[in-house]
Amino acid sequence: MQILFKDDDIIVFIKPAGVLSETGGAGAGRSVSDMLPGISLFAVHRLDRETSGIMVYALNKKSAAAISKSIAAGGFDKKYYAVLKGSPAEAQGLMEDWLIRDPKRNLTEVTDSPCERAKRARAEYEIKAENQGLCLTDIRLLTGRTHQIRAQFSHRSCPVYGDSRYGGGSGELALFAHSLAFDHPATGERMIFTALPDCEKFPWNLFAQEDFSV
């Protein structure tokens, strides 16, 4: 696990795919805590097990409360790269949907109209490049719903590559959190971190280095 920053209040690192953001029950699999033994971690956001990319954890309760407050106020900026099977109708735009979560099936679905269980989901996207029926897409989350990116693009018939749960076929999920910006919980300084997926691995290797503009 690559650590990008660490002080007395926060730790920022790149979570590998296949690792849980939070410790699960018996047999749930390896978690971030397992990979950072001896460090008390306070989760303030999460990435799906299959998703890789930049995460921040608080290292004390005061910092966790400050970051959580900032997230609630919209001060947390997260961007992702995804490789999609197919492409959206428009090269860039704003996706707005109502999502319903089914925890029993571990699925998030788009509903045609808001209801009691539905939560609003908003994300901006821009197609960066296309190759062999796949497209590299840069996404900025405006809300943070479970499986939001995966469900919204699947609903538009262009699921994330490797997302067998949402129609993207087999392989490693091509979804990477490449940019994270937030205010430091102690100093107030704006912290900005960027990273790239492994561009030597398929399907990321279908795209040129200049297509990844972080």
Cβ(118)–Cβ(111) below 8 Å: yes
The whole-angstrom separation of Cα 155 and Cα 147 is: 12
pTM of the model: 0.94
Low-confidence ranges of the chain (pLDDT < 70): 24-28, 214
The whole-angstrom separation of Cα 211 and Cα 203 is: 13
Looking at residue 87, the DSSP 8-state letter turns out to be: -
Fold of 2-211: Pseudouridine synthase (3.30.2350)
The whole-angstrom separation of Cα 38 and Cα 113 is: 47
What pLDDT does 27 receive?
A: 65
